[in-house]
């Protein structure tokens, strides 16, 4: 991203000055560090004696978007990268409602669901159960000398146990106090917290196109350079082994170009952070944005409000589930909906029953329906001897704004009947439906809205619906869920009862069945519009994607590993250690 023209000359001067400073600092730093890098074959105990105990410098900056820091190409950070594990696509907490939630991730090594700090109110904190990294370190080694420096009193107050705290007046003062702390011979870990980048973003906007924000990033880079120069000047530096971790606690709100929006967590600037873990003993390792998946492109109908497509021919009985094996598949791309949050109250996606509404457990509404619920989905049915529902609310929720594949498999096993639910080919939940009996219904198959007295309304694009008269094996579900269409060479093609692509321009108010029976559906209104879409299909969940890049709660795991603090299972840390291999 280009900086604004009016600042080009200013930034050119900055870059020149900072480059000279950083080159001097890090050439010297690298020369000194090179003298003490142990070879991988040396005995670990001898390494400690010869090269000194490891130490840590942790620098936390608020509001620095990873993409902005990357594009700024600041001189000090650039000098670090050849010997750093680094990412411009690291992530803070997606569910954070205040910056303190992300601070707490970094300081404890666990996420919101454990430490309890969701917003900037610490009243719900569980720091007694999930204490700070400082407590972990001092409990292991009471001689550890730890310092925590910030201009934010709340930061110091809530994380100040088992660490020496120092109140600063500004980021400049934080820098000065860190340099002073580095003069102590016996320091084990110094943690510093910077806020000016966040303030600049709130004032102008979180993007390099805003001078205030850009200048703040360059200033922070310069402050880091000053601190590292002081680190290099330590009297016993040659006998020490330092890890420097520089990371942002969170990014900031900014509207990215639509062409860059992949509708995953990586398109949310507020959670886009950067992470640099530097040591001269490290090789360079870049952790980029992971592979997200394939695109599903075409024209699609938006099934919002009361839009539906219904089978009005004699083939309806083909789509009864009876008491036999079956497989139902459909792809869904959720829109924001009336609540503007991709969460819904029970609207139907596909089903075959008279109505779908409250009281389904009391009224005689035989048949089946797949419906949305909150941010997951549900298979619901009533047979001639019972009823129930199986919720796909475990393991993987439905991704927002990208295509998901929903699959329900009904099968017989050891004289009983079950349904197994899959999201994007991954098993979610199983339920025993033996007691439900025969689930036949005289009512027509519908995709989209089912008649209801409730206010249940969907807002989603639907496509690639298939119904099979066989229980698809799990390996076949995994193999084909994220593909589009049905190849005649599919191993179970002979069991296909219906295939409705739901793609292309609206044609005569019909949705055509490309399966063997030609069971075409009729739209509720002939004029439903279509929208051209080009979105990812079966993208990994946020949880899965988060395992592929550094997260805020990874920082403590990296630090305790460096300091050789034994990690205990009962700590229940969420973070992982990143290696430079």
Whether 225 and 364 share a structural domain = no
Helix locations, 314-374, DSSP H:
none
Query: Looking at 222-366, which runs of residues are DSSP E strands?
Result: 241-248, 272-278, 285-286, 294-305, 308-311, 326-334, 348-353
Whether 248 and 354 share a structural domain = no
Sign of CA dihedral 171, 173, 179, 181: negative
Whether 125 and 181 share a structural domain = yes
Q: Is the pLDDT of residue 117 over 80?
A: yes
Whether 484 and 526 share a structural domain = yes
Map tokens 């890098």 to a residue: 37
**Residue pLDDT, tens place only, 400-417:** 999 999 999 999 999 999
Q: Is 572 left (phi over 0), alpha (psi -120 to 50) or beta?
A: left
Whether 515 and 424 share a structural domain = yes
- Locate 547 and state its tokens: 């395992």
Whether 323 and 378 share a structural domain = yes
Residue 194, domain extent: 55-256+271-289+549-568
CATH value at residue 429: 2.60.120.200
Residue 31 lies in a domain: no
Whether 479 and 520 share a structural domain = yes
Whether 307 and 205 share a structural domain = no
Q: What's the pLDDT score for residue 526?
A: 87
Residue 276 lies in a domain: yes
Residue 578 lies in a domain: no
Whether 359 and 244 share a structural domain = no
**Residue pLDDT, tens place only, 432-445:** 999 999 999 999 99
Contact 560, 567 (CB under 8 A): yes
Residue 48 lies in a domain: no
Domain count, the chain: 2
**Residue pLDDT, tens place only, 285-294:** 999 998 888 8
Backbone torsions φ then ψ of 408, nearest 5 degrees: -120, 125
Q: What's the pLDDT score for residue 52?
A: 65
Whether 281 and 299 share a structural domain = no
Contact 220, 247 (CB under 8 A): no
Residue 543 lies in a domain: no
Contact 161, 131 (CB under 8 A): yes
**For residue 525, what are the CA distances in angstroms to 88, 134, 309, 369, 384?**
48, 64, 9, 22, 33
Q: Is the pLDDT of residue 392 over 60?
A: yes
Residue 436 lies in a domain: yes
Whether 316 and 177 share a structural domain = no
Nearest to 553 by CA among 15, 205, 90: 90
**Residue pLDDT, tens place only, 47-88:** 333 346 899 999 999 999 999 999 999 999 999 999 999 999
Q: 544: which residues sit within 8 A by CB, 6+ positions away?
A: 396
Q: What's the pLDDT score for residue 261?
A: 87
Contact 270, 250 (CB under 8 A): yes
Whether 519 and 392 share a structural domain = yes
Residue 579 lies in a domain: no
């Amino acid at each position: 991203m280009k900086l604004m023209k009016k600042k080009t000359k200013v930034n050119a001067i900055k870059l020149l000055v900072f480059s000279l400073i950083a080159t001097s600092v890090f050439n010297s730093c690298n020369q000194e560090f090179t003298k003490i890098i142990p070879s991988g074959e040396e005995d670990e105990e001898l390494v400690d004696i010869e090269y000194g105990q490891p130490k840590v410098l942790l620098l936390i900056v608020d509001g620095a978007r990873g993409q902005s820091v990357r594009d700024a190409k600041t001189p000090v950070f650039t000098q670090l990268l050849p010997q750093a594990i680094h990412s411009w696509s690291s992530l803070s907490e997606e569910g954070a409602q205040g910056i303190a939630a992300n601070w707490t991730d970094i300081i404890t090594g666990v996420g919101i669901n454990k430490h309890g700090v969701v917003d900037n109110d610490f009243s719900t904190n569980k720091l007694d159960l999930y204490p700070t990294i400082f407590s972990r370190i001092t409990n292991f080694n009471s001689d550890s000398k730890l310092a925590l420096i910030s201009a934010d009193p709340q930061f110091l107050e809530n994380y100040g146990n088992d660490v020496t705290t120092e109140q600063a007046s500004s980021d400049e003062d934080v820098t000065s106090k860190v340099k002073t702390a580095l003069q102590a011979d016996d320091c084990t870990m110094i943690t510093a917290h910077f806020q000016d980048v966040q303030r600049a973003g709130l004032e102008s906007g979180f993007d390099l196109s805003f001078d205030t924000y850009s200048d703040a990033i360059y200033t922070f880079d310069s402050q880091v350079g000053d601190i590292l120069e002081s680190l290099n000047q330590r009297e016993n530096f040659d006998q020490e082994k330092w890890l420097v971790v520089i990371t942002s606690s969170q990014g900031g709100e900014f509207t990215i170009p639509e062409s860059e929006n992949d509708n995953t967590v990586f398109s949310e600037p507020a959670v886009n952070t950067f992470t640099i873990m530097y040591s001269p003993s490290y090789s360079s390792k870049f952790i980029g944005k992971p592979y997200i998946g394939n695109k599903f492109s075409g024209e699609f109908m938006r099934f919002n409000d009361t839009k539906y497509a219904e089978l009005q021919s004699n083939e309806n009985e083909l789509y009864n589930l009876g008491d036999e094996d079956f497989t139902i598949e459909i792809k869904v791309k959720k829109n924001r909906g009336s609540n503007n949050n991709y969460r819904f109250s029970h609207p139907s996606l596909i089903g075959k029953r008279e109505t779908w509404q409250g009281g389904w457990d009391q009224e005689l509404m035989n048949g089946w329906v797949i419906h949305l619920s909150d941010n997951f989905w549900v298979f619901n049915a009533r047979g001639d001897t019972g009823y129930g529902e199986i919720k796909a609310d475990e393991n993987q929720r439905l991704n927002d704004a990208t295509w998901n594949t929903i699959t329900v498999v009904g099968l017989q096993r050891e004289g009983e009947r079950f349904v197994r639910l899959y999201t994007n080919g991954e098993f979610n939940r199983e339920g025993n439906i033996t007691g439900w009996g025969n689930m036949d219904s005289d009512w027509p198959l519908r995709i989209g809205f089912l008649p209801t007295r409730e206010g249940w309304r969907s807002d989603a694009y639907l496509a690639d619906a298939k119904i099979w008269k066989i229980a698809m094996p799990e390996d076949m579900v995994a193999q084909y869920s994220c593909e589009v269409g049905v190849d005649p060479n599919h191993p179970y093609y002979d069991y296909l009862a219906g295939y409705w692509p739901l793609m292309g321009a609206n044609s005569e108010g019909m949705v055509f069945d490309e399966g063997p029976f030609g069971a075409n559906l009729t739209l509720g209104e002939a004029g439903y519009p279509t929208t051209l879409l080009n979105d990812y299909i079966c993208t990994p969940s946020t949880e899965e994607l988060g395992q592929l890049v550094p997260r805020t709660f990874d920082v403590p795991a990296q630090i305790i590993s460096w300091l050789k603090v034994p990690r205990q299972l009962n700590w229940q840390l969420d973070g992982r250690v990143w290696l430079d291999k």
